[in-house]
Amino acid sequence: MIFENRFKGRRAVVTGGASGIGAAIADRLTAEGAEVTIWDLAPGGRQIDVTDHSAVAEAMAEDAPDILICSAGITGPNVTTWDYPVEDWLKVYNLNVHGLFYCNRAAAPLMAAKGHGRIINMASVAGKEGNPNAPAYSSSKAAVIGLTKSLGKELATAGVTVNCVAPAAVATAIFDQMTEDHIAFMKSKIPMNRFGTVNEIAAMVCWLASDEASFTTGCCFDASGGRATY
């Protein structure tokens, strides 16, 4: 269900918004009246490298979003912790944690100065449970949850809410980064016995971005088909 003009007059930035979950979120925000800017190195967005903190700070000041969705991320290879390549570990953390931190850090004071804002970070059920053979991805998403809770408390009286969404596996192109065995493992853990859809995640994110979620901050919302246990 699309809520017409729910975000009329609001400006949104969606990182990683050129594909997958980010694209679905950007499309829904647009359909509900927001002025959306996509930050993505892939074609279709503003070419912002979120791992460059100076570029992020400059672009955030220019775009001045009322809503920030941090959806950019990578999985890294599926190998055991002791065999995990250091260079891949650093790549995952540089985007999933550092890039997200740079975006949150740049947006928070701008939103606080206006007395209104919504920050929604994309976490994962892997950040709660820790998937085997995905140590960098799992731990990076745990970091996202922790950062979200900290920032949410810091901004609690500023009119700015900060929340994250923790999906179970959602069928997107990110599966191309995973082995078939790992994909099968993730599906086997979901009681609904199916993967989530990008539209289901977008619906939850857009509720968190709306005025209806004004008393909700520092929280992690599951979209896991029954997988999450806490």
DSSP-derived 3-state class of residue 56: helix
pLDDT of residue 113: 98
Model confidence at 177, pLDDT cuts 50, 70, 90, reads: confident
CA-wise closest residue to 124 among 82, 67, 76, 80:
76
Q: Helix, strand, coil: what percent of the chain each, to 5?
A: 45, 15, 35
Which listed residue (84, 93, 102, 137) is catalytic? 137
> Is a pLDDT exceeding 80 seen at residue 112?
yes
CA-wise closest residue to 17 among 34, 36, 32, 39:
39
Asked if residue 190 is part of any domain, the answer here is: yes
Asked if residue 2 is part of any domain, the answer here is: no
Tell me what the mean pLDDT of segment 37-50 comes to: 94
Residue 59: which domain range?
A: 11-223
Q: What is the CATH number of the domain that holds 66?
A: 3.40.50.720
> Is a pLDDT exceeding 90 seen at residue 200?
yes
Asked if residue 107 is part of any domain, the answer here is: yes
Report the number of distinct structural domains present in the chain.
1
Residue located via tokens 């993505």: 40
pLDDT of residue 108: 98
Q: At what angle do helices 135-154 and 86-93 cross, to 10 degrees?
A: 30
Give the mean pLDDT of the chain: 95
Asked if residue 90 is part of any domain, the answer here is: yes
The answer to whether 53 and 102 have CB atoms below 8 angstroms apart is yes
pLDDT of residue 96: 98
Asked if residue 61 is part of any domain, the answer here is: yes
Percent of the chain whose predicted confidence (pLDDT) is above 70: 100
pLDDT, tens digit, for every residue of 114-173? 999 999 999 999 999 999 999 999 999 999 999 999 999 999 999 999 999 999 988 877
Asked if residue 193 is part of any domain, the answer here is: yes
pLDDT of residue 45: 87
pTM assigned to the model: 0.94
Asked if residue 230 is part of any domain, the answer here is: no
pLDDT of residue 91: 98
Asked if residue 3 is part of any domain, the answer here is: no
93 is catalytic: no
